[in-house]
Structure 1
Amino acid sequence: MSKITAQKKGLLERLKEGPVVGDGSMCMTLEKRGYCRAGPWTPEAVIAYPDAVKQLLREYLRAGADVLQTPCFYCSDGMLKKGTASGETVAYTTDAINEAACKIAHEVAAEGNALVCGGLSPVLSYLRERDSAKTRAEFDAQLDVFIKYKVDFVLAEFFAHVEELEICVDVMKKAKMPIACSMRIGPMGDSNGVSVEECAVRMAKTGADLIGINCLYDFDTCLKTLKRMRDALDKEGLKTPLMCQPLGWRCPEVEDKLIGYLDLPETPLALDPRTATRFEVHEFTRAAYNLGTRYIGGCCGMEPHHIRAIAQELAPERKRDPPVQDMCPPTGFMQFSGLSNIKEKASMDFWTNTKPGSGRPFNPASTQTEGGRFM
């Protein structure tokens, strides 16, 4: 592993050469496979079921991801305790989970010369107490293991408050490695009422190398938010590149909700009918790239085939196809099918112009309440 790590290009070098592809959903996908608890979404699986975690990371790597995040989202002592049933002891410590996550990410990343990203999550001491000292201490605890295991860069993600993000980025600077940061915001801005534009400028002024958004909203909403961020940065003369890791579900009716898809009745166990097609991912990827987004991956619901679509769409800019290309070009090998009706679908035009149905008669396009209102 050390030989490959020494030779591989870092995040900033890769961004100069072209777009970078991130990985996708971890906790949500592991839950569907039976390895994570729905609700807490904490990452005990890295210790309890390491082979399952490695397999999912390998699928993202094979799909074309340049970066594998340490699979330890929401790993802090407060979140682990919060997600434990009454009378049940916390099975694993934050340090143990983070260390296991680093080892797994390094092992799989070395198989494809991918980067390892150490992910830091929001903490309860900020949300509940607004205690700066405690908040910094919790971020320090998360960061220390990433320094110890020499990840390639660090990412602060899923932040609802730009103020908390600023604290996190300041702590992350001690790692002396590239820094990325993203917020879970849509057009309404952050949870303290800070606008999209102000969030973008403040994020850039932290000195982070890459800024953007992740989770809570679907492709169309993310594109609206990214455009406003890019316009605000351009107005201030700030050149920080953008990143985006959206949801893998369509949920346009939550654009005006601060908690996005979490407000849907289907969340978290009945979102399957909303799953985006890989061709919608192609369309989103091209639009996001045209807005200046240079790091594109996925968050909840973005599965390996979605990440493959990102890598395939950006193949001209990256000057290479994803490793899976020999098995699955964008329209597969349908031209070789023995069925004529399948052969006829062997074109991108057919799939990009198809509007998929849910298969459920009389099902609304968007979730409705009994009174007929959209949620």
Structure 2
Amino acid sequence: MTRPSSRTFTERLADGVMIGAEGYVFELERRGYIKAGPFVPEVILDEPEALRQLHREFLRAGADVMVALTYYAHRQKLKDVGRDGQLEELNRAAVRIANEVAAEGGALVAGNICNTWSYDPANPVASGAVVREQYREQLTWAVDEGIDFVIAETNDFVGEALIGLEVCQELNLPAVVTFASVQPGKTYDDHDYIDACKRLADAGASVVGFNCSRGPETMQPMLEKLRAAVDIPIAAQPVPYRTDAATPAFESLTSAGGGRAFPIALEPFAHTRFEMAEWARRAADLGVQYVGICCGGAPHHVRAMAEALGRTTPASRYSPALDLHPVLGTPADTSAQGVMGDWSAAPV
């Protein structure tokens, strides 16, 4: 089919920093279209207009890529919710919707595969065959509908990531391969994260890096090491939450009362748009070529990040103009600023 963009993924990446916007599953759950727990994107079939609208909002905010919402749209996860009979229908529809919206702004379209929960490092041959088949069927449908490249993300195992990359290569698709750094130091199959990325780079990935799990502050040191370790483009898609050295991954964050914050009580840990904008500048200055956001990300984050990188987006027409606020825009009245803080000093 005709591609929305006349430029290939490799050509676009060579132009400069690309902005990726994800977090579809979390955002659609907040909007009432996906069930927390299984996090299967049934919205694709049940409420396609809701997905179409979120794609459009990310596009208007400055995203260079529409990612087909096929995260957790593999056979095992659909079986969990009793919809494995609609696997092909769901996957094809997700790519079609991404293509429709991408065409509105000349964006690229990414197919998407992710951690399957089917891979077992103790039995890599048998479990790997199951994973390979799930990836093959998803990506074969995606290629048929039309994609520019693949994001193979939230990998916990090097073995599973390599299978995903091999399937991409079978189908002649450029691959962005990213690891979720849930554990300190090493993947679930005991590989140092930097070495894991190097293995994927050596195996032919177009881009390697990290997504999900870590917020900007705990992902940044890993990015610095990775940038020095590989000579191909790198990607970073952190979650917009305040992780720290004591709790580097957001899956382990706990509320003030000691309860689990992940996945649906994370609001107290959320970064502002200004903080994500400042991180986007830092990432670009480091040499991260694919700068994005993951679970928890929303269009206002993406717009602020794009503007921090010097872009004016369609959504910039509605960027904040607090000087026009009836209280905050009145210099003589500082009471509101005392409560709200000095917005003029916030990063733009």
Does TM, normalized by the shorter one, top 0.5?
yes
Code of the aligned partner of 1:251: T
Given that 2:21 and 2:58 are in contact with CA atoms closer than 8 Å, whether structure 1 keeps it comes out as yes
Change (3 A) 1:127 1:45: farther
- Summarize the Cα distance change of 1:214–1:254 in structure 2 as closer, same or farther, 3 Å threshold: farther
Counterpart for residue 314 of structure 2:
323
Unaligned runs of 5+ in 2: 254-259
- CA deviations 1:79-105 (Å, max 9, x no partner) are 1223x3xxxx33752211111101110
- Counterpart for residue 57 of structure 1: 55
Alignment pair present for 1:306 and 2:298? no
* Aligned counterpart, 1:217: 214
1:261 aligns with 2:254: no
Pick aligned residue for 2:287 from 278, 292, 305: 292
**Within the alignment, does 1:152 sit opposite 2:140 as a pair?**
no
Counterpart position of 1:48: 46
CA contact (8 A) 1:159 1:165 kept: yes
Matched-pair identity in %: 32
Q: Deviations over 1:96-151 (max 9, x none)?
A: 11111011101111111111100011223313853232222221112111111110
Aligned pair partner of 2:237 in 245, 260, 269: 245
Q: Deviations over 1:41-62 (max 9, x none)?
A: 1111100010111111111011
What are the equivalent positions in structure 2 for 1:46-195 lying under 5 Å apart? 46-82=44-80, 84=81, 89-90=82-83, 93-127=86-120, 129-130=123-124, 131=126, 132-185=128-181, 187-195=184-192
Matched residue, 1:351? 346
Residue 273 (structure 1) aligned with residue 273 (structure 2): no
Kindly tell me: are residues 231 and 78 of structure 1, through their superposed partners in 2, closer, same or farther at Cα, counting changes over 3 Å?
Answer: same
| CA shift for structure 1 position 38 | 0.3
Deviations 1:171-192 (A, max 9, x none): 1112213221111026512112
Cα 1:80/1:342, change in 2 over 3 Å = farther
Distance 2:72 2:189 in 1: 21
| Deviation at residue 340 of structure 1 after TM alignment | 4.8
Equivalent pairs, count: 331
Q: 70-79 vs 31-40, which deviates more?
A: 70-79
Other structure's SS at 1:266 match: coil
1:229-262 per-residue CA deviation (whole Å, 9 max, x = no partner) reads: 11222xxxxx210111110211225645xxx222
C-alpha separation in 1, matches of 2:152 and 2:103: 23
Aligned partner letter, 2:204:
G
Secondary structure at 1:309's aligned position in 2?
helix
CA 1:228–1:153 in 2, change beyond 3 Å: closer, same or farther?
Answer: same
Segments of structure 1 that go 5 or more residues without pairing to the other structure are 234-238, 354-375
Equivalences for residues 188-203 of structure 1 within 5 A: 188-203=185-200
Structure 1 residue 349 displacement after superposition: 5.6
Assess, with a 3 A threshold, how the Cα gap between structure 1 residues 11 and 347 changes in structure 2: closer, same or farther: farther
Residue identity opposite 2:167 in structure 1: V
Compared CA separation, residues 342 and 148, structure 1 to 2 (3 A): farther
**C-alpha separation in 2, matches of 1:42 and 1:194:** 29
Retained in 1: the 8 A contact 2:113–2:152?
Answer: yes
TM-score between both structures, scaled by the size of structure 1? 0.83
Partner of 1:370: none
Q: Which residue identity does 2:113 align to in structure 1?
A: L
What letter matches 1:272 in structure 2? E
Give me the TM-score of the superposition, normalised by structure 2: 0.89
Distance of 2:237 and 2:177 partners within structure 1: 11
1:305/1:340 CA distance change after superposition, 3 Å: closer
- Residue pair 2:198, 2:229 contacting (<8 A) in 1 also: yes
Distance (Å, rounded) in 2 between the aligned partners of 1:60 and 1:106: 14
Shift of 1:275: 1.2
Cα deviation 1:289-346 (Å, max 9, x = unaligned): 122101111110011111111111112xxxx411112221xxx212233325566879
